[in-house]
Amino acid sequence: MNNIYGVTLEELERYFLDKNNKKFKAVQVFDWVYKKGINSFDDMRNVSKETINMLKQDFYFGKLKIIDKKEDVDVSKYLFELDDNEKVEAVVMYHDYGTSICISTQVGCNMGCKFCESGRLKKVRNLKTYEMVLQILMVGKDISKKITHIVLMGIGEPFDNYDNVIKFIDIVNSGKGLDIGSRHITVSTCGIVPKIKEFANFDKQVNLAISLHAPTNEIRDSIMNINKVYKIEEIIDAVKYYINKTNRRVTFEYIMLKDINDSKECALKLSSLLKGINCYVNLIPYNETSHIEYKKSSKDSILAFYDVLKKNNIGVTIRREFGSKVNAACGQLRSHYLEV
């Protein structure tokens, strides 16, 4: 049996056609599941009993268990337990432009970024498509608000779970599904070059973010294992390919680590690296964790870095800090729960 939340509209249409039924029934089912929010096929009032019984034989409704929730100003962090007792996180943030959620795509992560709590506990498995969709549905229900923006930047590397992530985007973006606009969906990668190029051929205008975090291979090698596989030059070439194919701006994420990558010299090198690229840089104050030695850059260092980029005509923002009191850094709540 398949979880209904892991099935795209197109797959459901093919299912009905294979059963010698009309494919419009797929739209009816999606309407009940995503617009009306039912969690039982028996609640679908304009669908025949025969169709309901057929669906019950081939699909089921699943859910995740919320086992912890932490709240701070404009942010809530959720810890979910999956069917196999593994744990993942999601963070919901309230902005003036809407309600965004940062979801996990894997249980753990194999990318091994030295500053990241998720990578410290290693990858257990990929999340299935329905497990990603359910993070949004369950948080939306808990807060009684519509999720308007999605960021795939929680536990895991989305491009290491590429096929399930693409299906997830299809479902949440569908006008018959959660109807979240493609430009309100952002996928973040630490730099898996072949998948960046494959993503350039994806037919939805989803935002791409690159977790760069260093202006040179020497620094990046020391903090991100992925750089030993794909060097900065290869990532930049892949980004240029992506921009040429999609005509879309790319975000470069840059976590500010004290005395590691936050000098004015680093800012100048980053400016040179990104010159002429249709992009902007998102400077991220580091969320410190007790397990990892890196420290957050001072406000003065962040502002000085920002000024250098600005003066060199690089688009730049400083991310607003969320949730330092609720273990909001990627993987913190999960690791705390596992080690208590």
Of the residues 89, 131, 157, 253, only one is catalytic, namely 89
* CATH architecture for segment(s) 2-60: Orthogonal Bundle (1.10)
The tokens describing 29, both together, are 């089912």
Q: Please write the tens of the pLDDT for every residue from 204-213.
A: 999 999 999 9
Per-position pLDDT tens, the chain of length 340: 899 999 999 999 999 999 999 999 999 999 999 999 999 999 999 999 999 999 999 999 988 999 999 999 889 999 999 999 999 999 999 999 999 999 999 999 999 898 987 766 789 999 999 999 999 999 999 999 999 999 999 999 999 999 999 999 999 999 999 999 999 999 999 999 999 999 999 999 999 999 999 999 999 999 999 999 999 999 999 999 999 999 999 999 999 999 999 999 999 999 999 999 999 999 999 988 777 889 999 999 999 999 999 999 999 999 887 655 555 455 455 544 444 4
Q: Is 89 a catalytic residue?
A: yes
In CATH terms, 65-339 corresponds, of 3.30.1200.10, 3.30.530.20, 3.40.50.1370, 3.20.20.70, to 3.20.20.70
53: left (phi over 0), alpha (psi -120 to 50) or beta: alpha
What lies within 8 Å, CB to CB, of 31 at 6+ separation is 176
Q: Residue 324 has what pLDDT?
A: 55
Per DSSP bridges, beta strands 149-152 and 207-211 are: unpaired
pTM above the 0.85 mark?
yes
Q: Cβ distance 39 to 134 under 8 Å?
A: no
Q: Cβ distance 282 to 305 under 8 Å?
A: no
The tokens describing 298, both together, are 């001072």
SS3 66: strand
The domain ranges of the chain are 2-60, 65-339
Q: Cβ distance 337 to 68 under 8 Å?
A: yes
Output the DSSP codes for 77-119. EEEEE-TTS-EEEEEEEEETTEEEEEE--EES-SS--TT-HHH
Of the residues 109, 113, 116, 330, only one is catalytic, namely 330
Q: Is 218 a catalytic residue?
A: no
Q: Please write the tens of the pLDDT for every residue from 299-314.
A: 999 999 999 999 999 9
Amino acid at 86: E
